[in-house]
Amino acid sequence: MAKVISGKEVSAKVRADVKEECERLKEKGVTPGLAVIIVGDDPASRVYVNNKKKACAEVGFVSEEYALPAETTQEELLDLIDKLNNKKEINGILCQLPLPKHLDEKAVINAISPYKDVDAFHPSNVGKIMIGDYHFLPCTPAGVMELIHFAGIDVSGKNCVVIGRSNIVGKPMSMLLLHENGTVTVCHSKTKNLKEICSSADILVAAVGRAKFVKADMVKEGAVVLDVGINRDENGKLCGDVDYAEVEPKASYITPVPGGVGPMTIAMLMKNTLKAAKLQNGMDD
């Protein structure tokens, strides 16, 4: 019977810490500010943006939303980013992905100042993560690490397997585990013997985007299982990449979906924005 690592509980603690520190900054005349850009009307993106605004209000940040029409040009979007890069009250800039097809995501990410890149997608921040000398971490992998630490799990010397190699989760996740001395294997669609590799993992992170992909026969007895996926099952219910009912009896720790990694992503975004405000005001300790 696995212990459930509750993202709701851990994210509430992270947000409470951020709120407390935000109040201290306000006493020194600094209020952290986050600008969120959303282009078009993707319903999932709208939900995420609303949640980010709510979290900002909860911790005491200023939040600005820029909702642009789907037909916004590349030039208009880059102009807005340039204005926000130069706006002192804004410490973090986040452009909600995916963007409409005619816009160049790469150019948009590159246009955001690395000092305001609270998603940690800018190549300069990605490079810093590689060498272990960074200010910001991508929010989802950072949230997974926070859950691991909260549960008191030691990564050092453990066999860690990450399923998925995206720039947003899989690759940075593998680096963070490596920085804590895990022995890391990254699996993907071309991996041979996936089942064998996964079932040797002491720590298994599923970030593949396929509902209930990880079955009990892929999990070692007593493994720590962290589920990054958010999918809908055959009945339209939210579920992860892990078949929870099958895997939970074998795992020592497991994250649920919903209520696991999901709430951590926004909590870590708040943490990054606070960090950016401190850096930009020469207050980083």
Q: How far apart are CA 67 and CA 171, in angstroms?
A: 30
Q: Indicate if 52 belongs to the active site.
A: yes
Q: How far is CA 85 from CA 62, 111, 143, 249, in A?
A: 16, 9, 26, 49
DSSP 100: P
Among residues 285, 266, 274, 277, which one has the least CA distance to residue 10?
A: 266
Q: Residues 26, 28, 41, 52: which is the catalytic one?
A: 52
Q: How far apart are CA 173 and CA 162, in angstroms?
A: 7
Q: Residues 96, 171, 275, 280: which is the catalytic one?
A: 96
Long-range contacts of 147-152 (CB under 8 A, 24+ apart): 147/5, 147/7, 147/10, 147/226, 147/255, 147/260, 147/261, 147/264, 148/203, 148/224, 148/226, 150/5, 150/10, 150/13, 151/3, 151/5, 151/224, 151/253
Q: What is the 3-state secondary structure (H, E, C) of 28-55?
A: CCCCCEEEEEEECCCHHHHHHHHHHHHH
Q: Indicate if 3 belongs to the active site.
A: no
155 touches 177 (CB < 8 A)? yes
Q: Indicate if 285 belongs to the active site.
A: no
Phi, psi (rounded to 5 degrees) for 163: -100, 110
Q: What angle do CA 185, 190, 191 make, to 5 degrees?
A: 35
- 16 Cβ neighbours under 8 A, 6+ residues apart: none
Q: Residues 116, 117, 119, 212: which is the catalytic one?
A: 119
The tokens for 114 are 């690395």
Task: Provide the annotated active-site residues.
Answer: 52, 96, 119
